[in-house]
């Protein structure tokens, strides 16, 4: 996942004196400043030094596709950049060009002097002289919180190439890289990282995928390459055929195939080839792991994340991504551990807070989860990451019955207009669900309308039709509800439970309209399909009620008997059977069933009322009064005015 935190761009007009001073320094072989920068004019001088030595590298294929990146001069004919810039995509031939930006100058690549495949470093030999040369500093002296400047190039066509800078403090150091709290956009990697003296202490590099956090190769690794260079360069074409270099081209091929979900199988094959060519290639493991996570293959994704970390790719997003995969596999404690590591590495990493919140929720701690979602929201990540944080927080609030607060978060998700329609669908469905709980059925149907308008391809569309039908039924709009249940059944959802329930609920709506024969047909169909005993029992009871309405009380009793055999504690089955027995003048049998209802549900006022009436019918007046008085007390607690009126009337008759 990619999250943009903040980019600090330093740009401005320079005085003639400052510019001339900078230009003088650029011409020297060891360009640097002896004093640390403390004011903006010194800072700008350092930036100008970096810009003058920075170059743009562009690779173009015959089909028009290409790559661009930065580099910089360390000697008058030597340019440093990353290997991934010069490899292109496997299967395509590229033409490469090198261009100084300040002033504009073209350079021809003569060949490769040295490269380090595991650190993504390469030194080019070029024809022509660089207008500025940067001196290498000692990266071992780099400390946390040191302010550094990253210089790179922005490229949108040959007539629009500009040098730009970004500034930030160092937040983490490892033997393989150090991290900078700044955003280095694509195309700006491969450039120099300058310290307060204008010396190169690092080379920007692709690493993790965390936006707002740049990574750099320590300059001392570059010094080793410079010290061990051969006398003659290797031709670019020959260098491209080295296995470890070809691995980069296959990673780029995999990324291209993955982009937009066009060819996942081809992408996996490309990453596999890259790893066969270079078993120590952490980036290939990371990219393959991210794709496997996207495909739901979380176990294998975790293996790839493990391999990436073992090969030195221990970036915050690798741990965060591994934590997300562990969440999917139910290892929520392991997910929390990984997210904690990611947050220690980068305290402002929104994705890690979101994944840790997910783990906390799963472990039964929604309040702490909400705190993590709060933190992610305060960080204001770009793209759909902010949407996910609001969604997760809303779900957690809903689980805590904080429904009004949950509605506000779902409102915010919808206001943000997520790029991924799946997030909007989730927000509308969940917001509607909360509205149903709050009794706002009309507003809920409007949210289901929006889901249906978005036409999701999975069972979310089925859920929207089904839930909209429920809301319409609650509003007494049974004919409209039946139309929605029709649509659910026509769509034949993969979820058999939804399929069956739609038959049962359509039957309920038909029964409410007096279409009892058609209702029984739906119950019959649902009972043929139902895979779960508990649901089958409910189906039997519902069909029994309709049969009773049609005067088929014996058939109703048979259905209730079947339901009770499946679920002996199903209150509705005993209650419906009692009604059918009463219709058949089996008052004693009805009383026995009401006894069972009251045993299972002691505070059910209606059961006491009906048992009292049954007892009065057989002349047991004293016990009937006790039941009716109990029912009256319970009704007052439930505030059921119609039932209270019926009970009072029954008591008057007994008096």
CA distance 338 to 227: 39
Q: Which residues of 567-585 are buried (b: 16+ CB within 10 A; e: fewer)?
A: beebbbbbbbbbbbbbbee
Asked whether the predicted pLDDT for residue 591 surpasses 80, the reply is: yes
Span 390-416, average pLDDT: 96
Q: 10 Å Cβ neighbour count for 508? A: 22
Span 179-205, average pLDDT: 82
For residue 86, which of 244, 192, 293, 207 has the smallest C-alpha distance?
244
Among 10-19, 193-202, 462-471, 630-639, whose mean pLDDT is lowest?
Answer: 10-19
Asked whether the predicted pLDDT for residue 188 surpasses 80, the reply is: no
Asked whether the predicted pLDDT for residue 340 surpasses 70, the reply is: yes
Span 614-641, average pLDDT: 89
Residue 154: predicted pLDDT: 67
**37/197: higher pLDDT:** 197
CA distance 295 to 603: 50
Radius of gyration (C-alpha) of the chain in whole angstroms:
36
Span 247-266, average pLDDT: 90
Helix axes 316-328 and 282-294, enclosed angle (nearest 10): 30
pTM greater than the 0.85 cutoff = no
Q: Assess whether the previous peptide bond of 103 is cis (omega < 30° from 0).
A: yes
Asked whether the predicted pLDDT for residue 152 surpasses 90, the reply is: no
Asked whether the predicted pLDDT for residue 30 surpasses 80, the reply is: no
Asked whether the predicted pLDDT for residue 173 surpasses 50, the reply is: yes
Asked whether the predicted pLDDT for residue 572 surpasses 60, the reply is: yes
Asked whether the predicted pLDDT for residue 352 surpasses 90, the reply is: yes
Whether residue 198 contacts residue 26, with contact meaning beta carbons closer than 8 Å, is answered with: no
Token pair belonging to 369: 């989860």
Whether residue 583 contacts residue 567, with contact meaning beta carbons closer than 8 Å, is answered with: no
CA distance 448 to 455: 11
The most confident of the ranges 145-154, 295-304, 631-640 is: 295-304
E-strand stretches of 477-570: none
According to DSSP, the β-strands at 94-100 and 105-116 are: antiparallel
Helix axes 264-277 and 243-258, enclosed angle (nearest 10): 170
Q: 10 Å Cβ neighbour count for 514? A: 11
Residue 101: predicted pLDDT: 76
Q: 10 Å Cβ neighbour count for 479? A: 12
DSSP string across 168-220: EEEEEE-SS-EEESS---TTSTTSEEE-TTS-EEEEE------TT-EEEEEHH
Paired strand residues for 214: 180
- Residue 109 has φ and ψ, to the nearest 5°, of -75, 120
**52/26: higher pLDDT:** 52
Give the pLDDT band (50/70/90) at residue 51.
Answer: confident
pLDDT tens per residue across span 288-313 = 999 999 999 999 999 999 999 999 88
Give burial (CB, 10 Å; 0-12/13-18/19+) of 566. Answer: middle
Asked whether the predicted pLDDT for residue 223 surpasses 60, the reply is: yes
Whether residue 5 contacts residue 179, with contact meaning beta carbons closer than 8 Å, is answered with: no
pLDDT tens per residue across span 461-508 = 999 999 999 999 999 999 999 999 999 999 988 888 889 999 999 999
Asked whether the predicted pLDDT for residue 21 surpasses 50, the reply is: no
Asked whether the predicted pLDDT for residue 227 surpasses 90, the reply is: yes
SS3 for 79?
A: strand
Which phi-psi region, left, alpha or beta, contains residue 155 (left: φ > 0; alpha: ψ -120 to 50)?
beta
The most confident of the ranges 188-192, 205-209, 459-463, 591-595 is: 591-595
Q: Which helix (H) or strand (E) holds 111?
A: strand 105-116
Residue 13: predicted pLDDT: 28
CA distance 216 to 510: 68
Q: Which helix (H) or strand (E) holds 114?
A: strand 105-116
Helices and strands, number each (H, E), in the chain: 28, 12
Cα–Cα distances in angstroms (integers) from residue 575 to residues 462, 514, 591, 608, 628, in the given order: 32, 21, 10, 11, 17
**62/139: higher pLDDT:** 139
E-strand stretches of 28-92: 54-61, 66-75, 78-81
pLDDT tens per residue across span 257-275 = 998 677 999 999 999 999 9
Paired strand residues for 180: 170, 214
SS3 for 618?
A: coil
SS3 for 297?
A: coil
Q: Which helix (H) or strand (E) holds 113?
A: strand 105-116
Computed over every residue of the chain, the mean pLDDT equals 87
Angle at CA of residue 587, ends 582 and 591, nearest 5°: 100
**102/282: higher pLDDT:** 282
Residue 189: predicted pLDDT: 67
Q: What proportion of the chain, given as a percentage, has pLDDT over 70?
A: 90
pLDDT tens per residue across span 500-522 = 999 999 999 999 999 999 999 99
Q: What is the DSSP letter of 31?
A: B
């Amino acid at each position: 996942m990619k999250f943009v935190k903040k980019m600090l761009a330093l740009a401005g007009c320079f005085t003639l004196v400052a510019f001339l001073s900078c230009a003088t320094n650029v011409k020297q072989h060891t360009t640097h400043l002896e004093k640390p920068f403390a004011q903006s004019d010194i800072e700008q001088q350092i930036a100008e030094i970096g810009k003058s030595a920075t170059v743009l590298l562009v690779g173009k294929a015959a089909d028009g596709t290409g790559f661009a990146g930065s580099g910089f001069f360390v000697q008058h004919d030597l340019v440093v950049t990353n290997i991934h810039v010069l490899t292109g995509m496997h299967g395509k031939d590229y033409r490469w060009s090198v261009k100084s930006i300040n002033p504009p100058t073209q350079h021809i690549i003569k060949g490769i002097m040295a490269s380090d495949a595991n650190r993504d470093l390469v030194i080019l030999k070029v024809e022509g002289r660089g207008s500025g040369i940067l001196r290498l500093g000692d990266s071992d002296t780099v400390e946390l919180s040191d302010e550094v400047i990253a210089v790179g190039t922005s490229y949108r066509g040959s007539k629009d190439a500009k040098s730009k800078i970004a500034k930030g403090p160092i937040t983490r150091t490892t033997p393989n890289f150090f991290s900078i709290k700044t955003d280095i956009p694509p195309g700006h990697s491969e450039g120099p990282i300058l310290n307060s003296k204008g010396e190169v202490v690092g080379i920007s590099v692709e690493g993790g995928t965390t936006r707002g956090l740049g990574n750099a190769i320590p300059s001392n690794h570059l010094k080793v390459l410079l010290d061990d260079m051969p006398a003659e360069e290797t031709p670019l074409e020959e260098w491209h055929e080295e296995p470890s270099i070809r691995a980069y081209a296959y990673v780029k091929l995999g990324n291209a195939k993955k982009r937009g979900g066009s060819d996942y199988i081809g992408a996996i094959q490309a990453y596999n080839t890259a790893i066969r060519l270079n078993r120590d290639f952490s980036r290939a493991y990371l990219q393959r792991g991210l794709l496997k996570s996207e495909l739901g293959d979380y176990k294998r994704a975790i293996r790839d994340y493990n391999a990436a970390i073992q090969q030195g790719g221990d970036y915050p997003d690798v741990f965060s991504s591994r934590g997300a995969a562990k969440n999917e596999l139910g290892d929520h404690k392991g997910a929390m551990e990984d997210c904690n590591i990611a947050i220690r590495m980068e305290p402002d990493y929104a994705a890690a807070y979101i994944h840790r919140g997910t783990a906390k929720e799963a472990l039964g701690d929604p309040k702490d989860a909400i705190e993590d979602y709060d933190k992610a929201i305060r960080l204001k990540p770009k793209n759909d990451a902010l949407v996910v944080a609001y969604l997760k927080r809303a779900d957690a609030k809903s689980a805590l019955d904080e429904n009004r607060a949950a509605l506000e978060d779902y409102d915010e998700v919808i206001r943000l207009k997520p790029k991924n329609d799946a997030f909007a669908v989730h927000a509308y469905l969940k917001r509607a669900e909360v509205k149903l709980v709050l009794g706002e059925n009309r507003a809920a149907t409007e949210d289901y309308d929006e889901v249906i308008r978005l036409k999701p391809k999975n069972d979310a569309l089925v859920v929207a039709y089904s839930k909209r039908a429920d809301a319409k039924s609650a509003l007494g709009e049974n004919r409209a509800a039946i139309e929605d249940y029709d649509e659910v059944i026509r769509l034949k959802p993969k979820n058999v439970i939804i399929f069956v329930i739609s038959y049962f609920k359509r039957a309920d709506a038909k029964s409410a309209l007096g279409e009892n024969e058609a209702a029984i047909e739906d119950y019959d169909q649902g009972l043929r399909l139902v895979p779960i005993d508990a649901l089958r029992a409910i189906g039997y009871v519902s069909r029994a009620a309709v049969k009773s309405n049609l005067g088929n009380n014996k058939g109703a009793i048979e259905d209730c008997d079947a339901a009770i055999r499946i679920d002996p504690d199903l209150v509705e089955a005993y209650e419906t059977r009692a009604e059918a027995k009463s219709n058949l003048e089996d008052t004693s049998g009805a009383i026995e069933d009401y006894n069972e209802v009251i045993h299972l549900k002691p505070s059910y006022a209606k059961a006491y009322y009906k048992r009292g009436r049954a007892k009065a019918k057989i002349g047991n007046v004293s016990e009937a009064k006790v039941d009716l008085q109990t029912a009256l007390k319970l009704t007052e607690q439930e505030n059921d005015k119609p039932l209270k009126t019926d009970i009072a009337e029954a008591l008057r008759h007994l008096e």
